[in-house]
Amino acid sequence: MELIITSVIGGLLTILAVVMLTGRGSFMIAGFNTMSKEGKAKYDAKALSKFLGAILLPIGLLVPFTALESTIRWYPWVFMAMVVAVCVFAVIYVNKSDRFKK
């Protein structure tokens, strides 16, 4: 049962990542979609969306493996550490880099 649930969640995350990788998912980026039009105009929404899609894709692909906790007891902990590290990196990189500014 756990494998089914985590596979559905992983599949949904992977679909969201593919939408983001096409550059059309900026409306799903928390904080960006609540900005004013003037604030959004300062950023390259397509590049930002592609970057976050690239961050989300490996997470979505690896989520189903967390159901294998009975076989690989250390995997969920490594997975959580990886997700936290990637998220912290993404937040710092997006906010400190000028790559996404127009």
Per-residue pLDDT at 58: 92
Per-residue pLDDT at 33: 83
- Higher pLDDT pick, 8 / 70: 8
What single DSSP character describes residue 44?
-
> Taking residues 40-56, what's their average pLDDT?
91
Residue 18 has pLDDT above 90, yes or no: yes
Task: Write out the DSSP string of 12-40.
Answer: HHHHHHHHHHTT--GGGSTTTTTS-HHHH
Residue 101 dihedral angles phi and psi, to the nearest 5°:
-90, 145
Which distant-in-sequence residues (6+ apart) come within 8 Å of 14 by Cβ?
A: 57, 60, 61
Rounded (10°) CA dihedral 88, 90, 94, 100: 180
Residue 99 has pLDDT above 80, yes or no: yes
Q: What is the Cα Rg of the chain in Å?
A: 16
Per-residue pLDDT at 19: 94
Tell me the whole-structure pTM to 2 decimals: 0.81
Per-residue confidence band for 89, with pLDDT thresholds at 50, 70 and 90: very high
Residue 70 has pLDDT above 80, yes or no: no
